[in-house]
Structures are given as C-alpha cells and as structure tokens.
C-alpha cells in the first residue's frame, strides 16, 4: 500500500499568540487597564502570524499548485483563510446600516466596556506624563470592544470561502416580518423589546444597589446589557429566514458538486453563481452557473439534457439546461442574446406538475414551466440555436378575476423570438409540434405568427378576453393546413377540393374519443369518388396531427337524406376507432356513431375490393350497456352493384372488419341493409324490442338458408316475434310464420344443422298456436340446471302437484284432474327413484294419501315416506292384497259420490270428502311380469317341483296385481285415486302379462327420463315429433313430461335444497332426505292407522315355502277366467336401453350404497331402525331345508294340467271376511290393523 506523503507543517504561532493575548487581557482587567486594546492588538498579531499549511494533494492543472490531500489539510487551510480575513474585518468593522444584530451586540459590548474601571492605567500615564489622556480611556476601551466584536463576527460569517459570506441577521428583516402580520414574528419582537428593557433596568438597579462604584455609570452598563439581549432575541427570530437562501445555495452547490465528477469526460466543473427555489414545496430549482473557460456555455446548452446528467438526477425529476442572456452595462439583460460563459439549469420535481389551464397559477412558475417544456423541447428537436426565447412573461387570454370557481380554465399567450438568422414564423409549426408533445395532448398549443396560444383555449370553461381569438386561429390555420394536406394526398396535377369551414364538425364518440369532420366540394368536372382512390386512410392520417383513424365518404344530409355526389366528408380522430362494429358503442352523438360506422363500412368494402357505397343511415340495435353491439346500416349501392353481390362477398366484408363475427344482408328500397357486429345472443342488451326482432329476423333467415330449410320458392320461415322466457331469460322464444309447402317436421328433420348454424346448445322446435306458426325455444347452452331444488313455496301454494322445473324456469306440476295417472319410465342411472320422490314429497305435504308398493327394492327409496303412508307393501302377496284394498276403497268412494250426487270426490262436502289417493308401484314391469314355467316332463326332482309351484303361486299374485291395477286405472278417476307406475321398460311382451295399461296414453301423463332414441320416445309419447331433444350428456332427473292435454316438455326433477350444490356422497343424500322429511312433518302428522307386510300377509297357519306365503287351497278348484280389459293400444319398447342382466332398477339418484348410508344416518339420528326387515329371498341351494308341503296345499297335478296356462279367480282369491286384512269393515272402509311394532312416525317425530 502506498503511504501518505509526510510534510512538516509550520509552527502554530497563531495559537501561541492567542494564549498570550488572553493572559494579558486577564492581567489588564485585574490591574484596571483597558483590556480591549490589548485584545485587539493581540488578535491582529495572531492573525498576521498565521501560515498556510503545506498541501500534499495533486497539483492544479492551471495554477500548478498542490491541492488539498486529506481532510486535516482542508481544516488547516480553512483556519488559515479565516485568520487572513480577520484583520480586514476588524479594521473595517462593516456597514452600520442596515443595522445587523451583530453590530447591535457589539455596541452593547462597547457600552459595558465603557463602564469598566481604568484607574490602574493612571499610574502608567503618570510615568509618561500622559495623565491628560485618562478621560479618553473609557471611550477607547468601548470603541475597541465594539470593533473587536463586530469584526470578529464578520470574520466568522466569512470563514467558508467556497459558499461566500453568510448573510448577517438585521433589524430590517425583523421589521419586514412583523409588518407582514406574522403572529410569531410579532410575538418575538415584543419579547425582544420586553426582555431588553427588563435586562437594562435590572442591570442598572443591581449595580446601584450593590454600590459597585468601579462600574460607572451604571445606566450605560444597563443599556449595553439591554442591547445584547435585544440582539440575541432578534437574531434568533430572523436567522432562519435571513440565512435560508444562503443555506439553500450551499445545499445546491454541494448537490451539484457531487454530480459533476460522475459525468463522463469532465475535467472542469461549472461554478454555481446563484440559486433560487420556487413553489410551495420548493419543487423548482433554478441554478445559474459560470461555465469553465475551456468549455463555455454552449457545451452545456447544446442539448437540454446533457449526456450523462439524467442518471444523476433524482427519480421523477425534469431538468433542462438553458441559456441566459448577456447583461448590459446598466445591469439589464440584452434581448435575444445568449451569454457565452453562463447558463442556467431548471430542475422540477415531477410529483408537482403545473396545470397551465389553471387561471390562478403562479405566473413566475408558469414562465419557468414554459421554459422547461416549450423552449427545452424545441432545443431538443432543432438544436440549441433554435431554442425559443420568450420576449415577455405569459399574457393571460382569459378574463382576470379576483375570485375563481373551481371549474374555470385559462389560456396564455407567449410571444417568442430566436437568435438572429433563424426564420421563426416559417418554423413555428415545428415548434408547436414539439411544444405540444412536451405539454401533452390535452393542452391546446396553437400558433399565430411568432406567438403561441397555450392552455384550454377552446374549452367552454375558459372565458376569453377576446372571442375573436378563436376565429383567428381557425381562419389562419385551417385553410393553409388543408391546402397542404390535399397536395400531399392527391399529388401534383389534381386540384384540391374547396373547403367549407362553416360545416366543421366535432363529436365525442366516448369520453376519450373525439371525431372531427370537414366538408369539401369537388371542383367542376370532378365528383367525390374521384378523390376516394387517393384519399386513403394512411394518406389522410399522415397529414393530420396525431390522427390514428380516418375515413372519407360521400356526404348525405343527415336530416333530409339527400345525396350530394360532388360533396365528400373527411373524418378523423386522434384515438384509434375499432373497425369491428361490435366494439363501437352507441353514444349521445348520433353523428359520431354514424361517422365511426361509416369508417367501418368503407374499410369493409375497400378490403373486399368493392365499390364504396353511400351510407344513407346508421342505427344502433343494442343499448350502450350491451357487452357487444349490433348496428343496422342502410346503403345506396353504386355502379350497378346489387344486394346479391354484397351477400356473395359477406365473408370478405367480415374479414376486413377486424374480427367481426356476424354480418347479415337484407333488402332495402335504396340498395341493401347490412346488420353487423356481435352475435345476437342472449348476452346482448337490445335498444328496443323492434331492434332485437329486426336483427334476429335477418339472422334466422340466414340460418334457415344455411340449413337448407326452405320451400320450393326459396322461402324460409319468417320471424314474427322474439322474447325471453319470463322466468328464464337464458332462453329466447321465437315465433315464426311458416311458408306454404314447409312443415314443422321439415324443420325438426334439420334441427341438427340448425343447431350448428345458430350456435345454440339448446333448440326446442314445436307447434305454434296455429298450424301456420312455429315456436322455437333456443339458448346458447342448456338452460336447465343440473340440479333443481325444491320450490317449497310453490308446493304450498299450487293446486296441482309440482315436482320439477321446466325449460321456462317455472315449476312443472302434475294435475290429477287432467291426468289421473302417471307412467314414469327411465333406465338405470336416469334418476328415476329421485324423480318419484319429487312427486311423492309435494303430494305428502299437500295431504295426499300415499300407498307405496315396491317388491324389487323393498321400498328402500321411500323409507322416509313410510310414516306418512297408509299402506306399504313389498311382497307380491301383500301388494296384491293392498291393491284389492285400494279397489274396495274405490268402490266405496263411487257409492259416496252417488249418495251425494257428486261427479267426483273433489265435489263432495268437506265433512265426508276423503283425501286424494296416490298408489305408487315402483319397478312395475318386473312386478307384473310372469315368471317362466318349464313344462312338466315327469323327470323333475322334488325341489324342481316345489320351485315350479312357487312360480305358479307368484304368477297368481302378479295376475291379481295386474287385474287390480287395470280396474283402478279404468274406474278410479272419479273416486280420487291415481296410479303412479314406474319402470324401465314396457314392451309389447310385457304388456301381455298385464291388462292394466290399456289405453294408457289417454289416461296418464307420460314421463321419460334420460337419453332415449326416437323410437323409444315414439313408444312413450303421443306427439313424438314435438318431443324435445335432451342432448348428449343428460344429468340425472332430466326428462320429458307429456300431459294428455299438452305437448312434451323438458324438465329437471327437484332435489333437496338445504345443502350446497357441490356436496356429494352420503352427507348430501342424508341432507336431501332430512330436508324432505322436515317439510312433510311440518305440514302433516304421520298416519295413525297403517298397513304393512305383516298386516297384509295371510296368518301364520298358512304354509311358507320359498319365502312366499301360499294358501293351502289357493291352487284348488278355480277356473280360468278371461277378463276383458278393452283395447290396448300402447306399444312401448325400450329394447335400445342397455339394462344389463338385471331387469330391475336397483339404483337411486346417488346409488343404493349411498342411499343406505343416508337412511342409516337418519336412523342413527333418531335412535331407531327405520328400514323394515328385509324379505327373505328365495334360496336355491340343493341342501336347503324346505318344509314339506302338506297334502291340501300340494294336490297331485297331471303333466297336461301343469302345462296349461295358469289363471286365477279374482273373486275367489280376493275374497275376505269382514274384519280381516283387506276385508270390508262395518263402516264401508277397509279396516287397517293398528301398527303392531313401534311406529316409525312416532320414532321420527318424538
């Protein structure tokens, strides 16, 4: 490491002299000599003995003297400089006015020195025979003390030679501040005067009281003390304000001194000569520098921001290096001059920009802002010699006021000049462009001659002093500007069109977009279209300041719609206007919208290489709030172009419109209509109903054409009306008039194509009110919810039984007066069980009497309804007995109707009217389908014979079930008894086993769940051609409902609503069941008298075999009976369903396992087992122990007899004694045994 150079420094003679001087002064005071003289002489001697320190730094390149090498040398050099200034300051004493606080304190010190004793000097004077000078010693002592204090204070203020002398505090500053009515300053002034008076009086009294005869006169000493106190207080009050400019200059000098060394290739640094700060937050610094002699000012102002200075400035700071004028001999600046050695720097904190449109803005700040923005921007663009020099301060163009309201704005005029040799008027346009860029596009910058008009010149909030300014600006600039533009657009050889400034237009398309319009007339022999080939958007925009969009069009009078072929409009905007009409929103200004859409039309026809049409009218079809917009434009086609030509080029027109996704062409008296923009979907907000109808009419016409739905005369269905469904605004309902020769079936046949061309995920086509009308309900996506929750309010209020939500968003209900019975069909996994629940739960709430029969699943899906059901049967024998009980109740009710002369149960008096009954048979197909019987060969084992006998008995029970169902469905309408039969299939073979379904389509509402083919739907519905498609992915519970008096309608069965939709699994199922049970129990009490399998099954004396009860005499002595069930016209075949090996539906909405878990959860909650004991299933193992069949129950049967079809005698089999289960009681109603085991209802609702 290199070591510092060690140089021996001169001896500290000054310090030694000061010590001796202090000692001598102390001795002089003790001996009563005039010490001030000794102090003054000693300080002068000490200052003269000061020596410059030896410096070890590098030599200065100009003076070749060494420079400071370390901080210690700098301190020693500063001390030496201080002592070198002391003699001059002590002897000159400084000016006595304005009176400084330092001088005031020095006079006070002199007064006190005047009163000090001096008798000790008399002896010395006697020795030199100078006693006559003794009276002058007090004066000498006082004067020398005053000189000493005043001079030494001045020397202390001048100890920093780099920043110049520190300004003294003076009384003039205090007086100025006090007259400004500053409360703080006035209080300090009062304190200074009061403190001085108290000090002076106190000092005088103290001297007199203490009888200090050596200090005389005491009043002079008191006055001196008062002056010192007054000086100290006033110094404290004024020192901040007095020295702030000097301190700010010191800060600025240090700031710049730290920046200069970081600039590249800079050896000499400018010296700060003056510093000013402006603004409430000192956000503006104006620094003037003396440039180094080898550089000159031009080096610094050649660019407004010299290279390398910007990174050194604080963040968000604007800076500009500008020239300063030369100064004449009288001190005034020379106009349009530039100093060769001085320059200035404006530094502006970007967090405090200036609003030049504010009429109250500070004028000095405004001048500096224009220098920073306007002059600096011109210098940056055109060089320092082209920097604009303001000839005077900004002049207000607006009316000056004493008070302003917050919304008023202002404008300013600044006259500029440049150095000689530059033609300013011819270059003012370039200057304006630079100034505009620097000030911002929101500030108007307009030139007239050598002046600039800046601010909110044309704003309505600016009250101009002279309104003719605007006319001057318009007339002087527009003519010249457009003449130049047309030369640039058309080139030489073509005459520019005439400009009509009285038709200038300016409209707002939106809050950020303004469109300007100018009208021109072609000269004789030319028309407007002669200019269109050259007046392309890029050429127009190149001549317009800041233009981002432009177009040229024919002029059509907006009121009379009169055409003027020789007139044309040029429209432009400084903001980019989209060509896609979907992105152009309607505005308050119809002209702005017309201009914007006209630009889109021109761009489209230009892109399609077609002759530009005349835009006759523009009309928005959507409102401002719409997410996308649609416009209707009426065009006049020129040069033989037809509507067919436009239609042929539809795709080319759309391609030129920046992603326009929809365009339709229609007829018009003057040429054609074009509707274009966003797709007319349900997301659009239409201007009015006619607008939507107009758009959709043209849209559907194109859809029908694309789908080839038209008659021989190329006619398509005509849209008459469109409206959203009242309770489901996702669905639009379209009403069409069908042309002759086109049927609804033709439309449905092409529904797939129509769905594709319309882009709708849902499409339902049906017959209208008349054969000539067609209704189409459409939605972009399936409008049906995947999970529809129970509408409990509707359940409470409806007179029918609501069970689902339809496509209209309304509850769908089953009315037993219209459809006494319901057939519900659905394959495995279609949600059939949950759909039955959605029927029965509202029915239970409304007071319907429920009878639930389910052999295959043992009523597992309906356990929650058991407490509210009259009969629950899960065995063939008990189901047969229960149905026969129901039929006897039908007979009783019919007699009751006859007794009271009522046509139906509902018309009976309240006191005798029984509740409506709903008989539910789940898995009806398997319930009535006969078991297969093998022929007797004589080789059968005993087990095989018993099995066959078991199947024979089972078929007998199924026959009884089918017979009972048939009679109930035919006869029970007036008795208030309805059947709900559910199954997976009802094929022709299965119907042979049951006479129950004759003429079912005319008696029952049909429900088909899940996805099905056309053939399957044809088997289920009367009006299959009107049945809607459910789509590819059909959620559970989705189906089609066809009433006997209505068309097939899509629905979504209800589900519990007391849990979140996203929940799944056992918790969700438990909540679903709990929800239904809660609502049922809130509406009704559990049934008191109920019949279950134990109540309906024959008594224990009968023999049980293979899990069924077989009466001993059931197989004996019965004759075949043929029951005439009427004509059966139902052919229902669901062969296309993939049912697997099992014919029965063993799933619920969430599956058997989940349902069992849910039911178990409910059971656990109430500490009771809610599930009935499962019926023993037949066991076929060879080692099964079977109780022998007794003789009466097992007669010998021949092979021929066994192979005969087995029939039953309903009269014999159904006979019951009064009082027996299923028998008729004394009151005419069938008697129900009291539920013998603990009541489920009691358990659930304790």
Task: Let me know how long the chain is.
Answer: 1246
Of the ranges 206-220, 815-829, 1165-1179, which one carries the lowest mean pLDDT score? 1165-1179
Is 832 one of the annotated binding-site residues?
yes
- Return d(Cα 805, Cα 609) in angstroms, integer: 53
Average pLDDT, rounded, for the chain:
80
pLDDT-derived band at 242, boundaries 50, 70, 90: confident
Is a pLDDT exceeding 90 seen at residue 917? yes
* pLDDT band, residue 62 (cuts 50/70/90): low
Q: Is 342 annotated as a binding residue?
A: no
CB 414 within 8 A of CB 370: yes
Chain centroid, CA 85 distance in Å? 72
Please report the pLDDT score of residue 357 as a whole number: 93
Q: Quick: pLDDT tens for 758-794.
A: 888 888 888 888 889 999 988 888 788 888 889 999 9
Tell me: is residue 592 an annotated ligand-binding position.
no
Q: What is the pLDDT of residue 271?
A: 92
Q: What angle do CA 867, 871, 876 make, to 5 degrees?
A: 130
- Predicted pLDDT at 1079: 92
Q: Taking 90 as the threshold, does the pLDDT of residue 842 lie above it?
A: yes
In three state form, how does the secondary structure of 826-861 look?
ECCCCCHHHHHHHHHHHHHHCCCEEEEECCCCCCHH
CB 1029 within 8 A of CB 779: no
Instruction: Name the pLDDT band for 93 (thresholds 50, 70, 90).
Output: low
Phi, psi angles (nearest 5°) of residue 360 = -95, 5
- Rounded to a whole number of angstroms, the distance between the first and last alpha carbons of the chain is 100
Structure-block tokens of residue 472: 């001057």
Mean pLDDT of 212-232: 84
Among candidates 835, 769, 773, which has minimal Cα distance to 804? 835
Percentage, residues of the chain above pLDDT 90:
32
- Number of Cβ within 10 Å of residue 1165's Cβ equals 12
* Residues contacting residue 642 through CB under 8 Å, at least 6 positions apart: none
Confidence at residue 1236, expressed as pLDDT on a 0 to 100 scale: 33
Query: Per-residue pLDDT for 1145 more than 60?
Result: no
User: What pLDDT digit, counting tens, does each position of 636-649 carry?
Assistant: 998 889 999 999 99
Q: Which residue has the higher pLDDT, 727 or 703?
A: 703
**DSSP H helical segments within 550-625, as ranges?**
590-607
Sort 673 into a burial class: Cβ within 10 Å, 0-12 / 13-18 / 19+.
buried
Q: Is 831 known to sit in a ligand binding site?
A: yes
Lowest mean pLDDT, pick from 312-326, 1084-1098, 1187-1201: 1187-1201
CATH superfamily for domain 822-1179: P-loop containing nucleotide triphosphate hydrolases (3.40.50.300)
Is 830 known to sit in a ligand binding site? yes
**Checking phi first, is residue 588 left (phi over 0); if not, alpha (psi -120 to 50) or beta?**
alpha
Kind and range of the H or E run holding 507 = strand 505-510
pLDDT per residue over 346-401, tens digit each?
Answer: 999 999 999 999 999 999 999 999 999 988 888 887 776 667 788 889 999 999 88
User: Across residues 41-52, what is the average pLDDT?
Assistant: 89
The alpha carbon dihedral of 857, 860, 865, 868 has a sign of: positive
| Average pLDDT for 855-877 | 92
SS3 state of residue 1152: helix
What's the pLDDT at 1203?
41
Ramachandran assignment for 308, one of left (phi > 0), alpha (psi -120 to 50 degrees), beta (any other): left
Q: Would you state the pLDDT for residue 1212? A: 35
pLDDT at 1095 over 70: yes
- Of 721-730, 976-985, 1057-1066, give the lowest mean pLDDT range: 1057-1066
- The CA distance from 203 to 223, in Å, is 8
Q: How far apart are CA 1140 and CA 1138, in angstroms?
A: 6
**Could you tell me which of 890, 889, 888, 896 has the C-alpha nearest to residue 913?**
896
Average pLDDT over residues 508-517: 91
Q: What distance separates the 2 farthest-apart alpha carbons in the chain?
A: 186
Helix count and strand count (H, E) for the chain? 35, 35
Q: What is the pTM of this model?
A: 0.48
The mean pLDDT value for 462-485 works out to 81
**DSSP structural state of residue 375:** I
Segment 791-807, tens digit of pLDDT: 999 999 999 999 999 88
What is the reported pLDDT for 177? 64
484, 462, 446, 458: which is closest to 410 by C-alpha?
Answer: 462
Confirm whether residue 827 is marked as ligand binding: yes
**Cα–Cα distance measured from residue 205 to residue 225, given in angstroms and rounded to the nearest whole number:** 12
pLDDT band at 97 (very low <50, low <70, confident <90, very high): low
Cα-Cα-Cα-Cα dihedral of 388, 391, 394, 399, to 10°?
Answer: -130
Can you give the residue ranges of every domain in the chain? 13-246, 255-474, 492-577, 822-1179
Alpha carbons 1172 and 1159: distance in angstroms, whole number: 12
Instruction: Name 1139's Cβ contacts closer than 8 Å, sequence gap at least 6.
Output: 827, 828, 984, 985
833 is in an annotated binding site: yes
Grouping H, G, I as helix, E, B as strand and the rest as coil, residue 563 is strand
Token reading at 1220: 């027996």
Least confident of 170-179, 260-269, 454-463: 170-179
- Report whether pLDDT(858) > 50: yes
Q: Which residue has the higher pLDDT, 385 or 973?
A: 973
The pLDDT assigned to 542 comes to: 85
Per-residue pLDDT for 574 more than 80? yes
The answer to whether the CB of 843 falls within 8 A of the CB of 918 is yes
Most confident of 109-113, 425-429, 989-993, 1215-1219: 109-113
**What pLDDT is recorded for position 423?**
58
Range scoring the smallest mean pLDDT among 510-519, 578-587, 1155-1164: 1155-1164
Distance in angstroms (rounded) separating the CA atoms of residues 985 and 1010: 13
Beta bridge partners of 773: 737
DSSP character string of 652-711: HHHHTTSS--EEEEEE-SSEEEEEEES---TT--BSSHHHHHHHHHHHHHHHHHHTT---
Residue 1027: half-sphere exposure toward Cβ, Cα within 13 Å: 26
Q: What are phi and psi of 710, to 5 degrees?
A: -160, 160
pLDDT for residue 1201 is more than 80: no
Compare 1129 and 635 and report the one with higher pLDDT: 635
* The two three-digit tokens of residue 75, written as one number: 């301190």
Q: Residue 56, class by beta-carbon neighbours within 10 Å (0-12 exposed, 13-18 middle, 19+ buried)?
A: middle
Residue 554 reports pLDDT greater than 70: yes
916: DSSP letter: P
Token digits for 1207?
């029939």
pLDDT exceeds cutoff 50 at 61? yes
Candidates 534, 1170, 540; CA nearest to 861 is 1170
Residue 1123 pLDDT:
43
Given 3-state DSSP classes, what are the helix, strand and coil percentages for the chain, each rounded to the nearest 5? Answer: 40, 20, 40
- Residue range 333-338: average pLDDT? 86
Structure tokens at 945: 């014979």
pLDDT exceeds 60 at position 1208: no
> Which carries the bigger pLDDT value, residue 437 or residue 1246?
437
More confident call, 347 vs 161: 347
The C-alpha atoms of residue 984 and residue 1007 are separated, in whole angstroms, by 11
Taking alpha carbons only, the member of 936, 921, 919 closest to residue 972 is 919
Q: Is 894 annotated as a binding residue?
A: no
pLDDT at 696 over 50: yes
């Amino acid at each position: 490491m290199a070591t510092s150079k060690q140089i021996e420094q001169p001896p500290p003679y000054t310090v030694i002299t000061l010590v001796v001087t202090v000692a001598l002064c102390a001795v002089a005071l003790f001996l009563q000599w005039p010490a001030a003289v000794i102090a003054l002489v000693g300080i002068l001697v000490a200052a003269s003995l000061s020596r410059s320190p030896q410096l070890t730094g590098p030599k200065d390149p100009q003076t070749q003297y060494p420079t400071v090498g370390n901080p210690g040398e700098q301190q020693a050099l500063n001390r030496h400089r201080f002592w070198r200034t002391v003699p001059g300051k002590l002897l000159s004493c400084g000016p006595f006015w304005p009176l400084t606080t330092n001088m005031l304190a020095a006079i006070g010190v002199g007064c006190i020195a005047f009163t000090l004793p001096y008798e000790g000097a008399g002896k010395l004077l006697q020795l030199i025979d100078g006693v006559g000078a003794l009276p002058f010693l007090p004066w000498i002592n006082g004067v020398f003390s005053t000189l000493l204090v005043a001079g030494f204070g001045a020397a202390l203020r001048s100890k920093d030679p780099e920043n110049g002398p520190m300004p003294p505090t003076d009384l003039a500053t205090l007086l100025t501040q006090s007259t400004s009515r500053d409360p703080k300053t006035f209080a300090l002034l009062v304190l200074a005067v009061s403190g001085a008076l108290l000090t002076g009086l106190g000092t005088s009294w103290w001297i007199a009281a203490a009888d200090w005869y050596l200090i005389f006169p005491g009043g002079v000493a008191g006055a001196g003390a008062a002056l010192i106190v007054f000086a100290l207080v006033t110094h404290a009050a004024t020192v901040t304000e007095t020295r702030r400019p000097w301190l700010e200059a010191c800060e600025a000098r240090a700031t710049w001194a730290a920046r200069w060394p970081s600039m590249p290739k800079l050896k000499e640094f400018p010296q700060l000569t003056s510093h000013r700060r402006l603004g409430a937050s000192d956000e503006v610094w104006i620094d003037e520098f003396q440039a180094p002699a080898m550089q000159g000012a031009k080096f610094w102002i050649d660019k407004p921001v010299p290279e390398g200075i910007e990174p050194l400035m604080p963040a968000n700071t604007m800076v500009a290096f500008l020239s300063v004028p030369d100064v004449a001999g009288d001190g005034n600046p020379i106009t349009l001059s530039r100093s060769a050695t001085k320059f200035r720097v404006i530094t502006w904190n970007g967090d405090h920009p200036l609003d030049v449109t504010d009429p109250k803005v500070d004028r000095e700040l405004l001048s500096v802002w224009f220098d920073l923005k306007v002059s600096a921007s011109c210098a940056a663009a055109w060089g320092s010699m082209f920097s604009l020099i303001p000839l005077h301060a900004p002049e207000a163009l607006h009316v000056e006021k004493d008070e302003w309201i917050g919304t008023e704005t202002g404008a300013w005029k600044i006259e500029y000049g440049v150095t000689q040799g530059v033609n300013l008027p011819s270059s003012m346009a370039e200057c304006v462009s630079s100034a505009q860029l620097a000030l911002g596009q929101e500030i108007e910058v307009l030139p007239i001659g050598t002046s600039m008009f800046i601010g909110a010149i044309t704003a309505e909030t600016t009250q101009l002093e002279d309104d003719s300014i605007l006319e001057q600006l318009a007339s002087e600039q527009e003519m010249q500007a457009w003449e130049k533009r047309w030369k640039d657009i058309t080139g030489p050889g073509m005459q520019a069109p005439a400009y009509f400034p009285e038709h200038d237009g300016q409209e707002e398309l939106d809050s950020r977009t303004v469109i300007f319009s100018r009208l021109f007339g072609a000269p004789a022999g030319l028309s407007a279209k002669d200019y269109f080939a050259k007046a392309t958007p890029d050429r127009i925009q190149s001549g317009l300041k800041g233009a981002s969009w432009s177009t040229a069009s024919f002029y059509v009078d907006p009121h009379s719609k009169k055409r003027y072929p020789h007139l044309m409009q040029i429209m432009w905007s400084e903001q980019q206007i989209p060509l896609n009409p979907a992105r152009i929103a309607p505005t308050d200004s119809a002209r702005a919208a017309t201009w914007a859409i006209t630009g889109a039309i021109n761009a489209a026809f230009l892109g399609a290489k077609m002759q530009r049409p005349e835009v006759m009218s523009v009309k928005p079809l959507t409102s401002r709030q719409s997410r996308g917009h649609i416009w209707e434009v009426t065009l006049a086609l020129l040069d033989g172009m037809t509507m067919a030509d436009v239609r042929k080029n539809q795709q080319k027109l759309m391609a030129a419109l920046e992603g326009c996704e929809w365009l339709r062409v229609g007829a018009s008296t003057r040429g054609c209509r074009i509707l274009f923009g966003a797709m007319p979907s349900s997301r659009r907000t239409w201007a009015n109903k006619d607008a939507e109808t107009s758009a959709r009419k043209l849209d559907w016409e194109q859809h029908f054409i694309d789908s080839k739905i038209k008659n021989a005369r190329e006619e398509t269905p005509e849209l008459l009306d469109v409206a959203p469904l009242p309770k489901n605004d996702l669905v639009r309902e379209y009403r069409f008039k069908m042309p002759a020769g086109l049927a609804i079936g033709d439309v449905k046949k092409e529904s797939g194509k129509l769905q594709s061309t319309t882009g709708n995920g849902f499409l339902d086509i049906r017959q209208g009110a008349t054969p000539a009308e067609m209704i189409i309900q459409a939605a972009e996506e399936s409008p049906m919810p995947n999970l529809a929750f129970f509408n409990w309010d509707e359940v409470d209020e409806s007179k029918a039984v609501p069970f689902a939500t339809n496509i209209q968003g309304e509850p769908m209900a089953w009315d037993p007066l219209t459809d006494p019975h319901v057939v519900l069909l659905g394959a495995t996994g279609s949600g059939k069980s949950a759909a039955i629940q959605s029927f029965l739960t509202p029915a239970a709430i409304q007071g319907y009497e429920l009878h639930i029969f389910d052999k295959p699943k043992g009523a597992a899906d309906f356990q929650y309804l058991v407490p509210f059901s009259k009969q629950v049967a899960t065995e063939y024998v008990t189901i047969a007995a229960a149905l026969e009980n129901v039929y006897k109740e039908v007979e009783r009710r019919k007699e009751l109707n006859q007794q009271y002369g009522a046509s139906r149960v509902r018309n009976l008096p309240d006191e005798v009217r029984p509740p409506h009954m709903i008989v539910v048979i789940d898995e009806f197909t398997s319930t009535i389908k006969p078991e297969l019987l093998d022929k007797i060969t004589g080789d059968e084992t005993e087990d095989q014979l018993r099995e066959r006998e078991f199947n024979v008995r089972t078929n007998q029970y199924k026959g009884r079930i089918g017979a009972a169902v048939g009679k109930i469905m035919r006869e029970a309408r007036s008795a208030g008894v309805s059947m709900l039969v559910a199954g997976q299939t009802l094929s022709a073979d299965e119907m042979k086993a049951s006479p129950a379904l004759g003429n079912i389509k005319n008696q029952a509402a049909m429900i088909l769940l899940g996805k099905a083919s056309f053939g399957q739907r044809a088997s289920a519905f009367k009006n299959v051609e009107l049945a809607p498609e459910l789509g590819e992915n059909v959620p559970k519970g989705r189906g089609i409902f066809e009433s006997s008096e209505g068309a097939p309608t899509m629905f979504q069965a209800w589900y519990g609503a007391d849990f979140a939709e996203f929940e799944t699994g056992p918790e969700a199922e438990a909540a679903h069941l709990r929800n239904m049970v809660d609502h049922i129990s809130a509406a009704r009490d559990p049934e008191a008298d109920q019949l279950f399998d134990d109540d309906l099954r024959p008594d224990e004396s009968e023999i049980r075999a293979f899990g069924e009860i077989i009466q001993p005499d059931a197989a004996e002595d019965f004759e075949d009976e043929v029951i005439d069930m009427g004509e059966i016209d139902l052919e229902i075949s669901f062969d296309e369903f993939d049912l697997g090996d099992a014919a029965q539906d063993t799933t619920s909405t969430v599956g058997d396992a989940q349902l069992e878990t849910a039911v178990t959860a409910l059971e656990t909650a109430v500490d009771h087992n809610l599930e009935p004991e499962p019926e023993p299933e037949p066991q076929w193992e060879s080692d099964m122990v079977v109780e022998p069949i007794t003789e009466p129950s097992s007669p010998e049967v021949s092979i021929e007899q066994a192979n005969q079809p087995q029939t039953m005698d309903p009269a014999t089999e159904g006979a019951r004694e009064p009082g027996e289960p299923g028998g008729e009681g004394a009151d005419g109603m069938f008697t129900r045994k009291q539920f013998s085991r603990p009541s489920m209802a009691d358990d659930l609702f304790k």
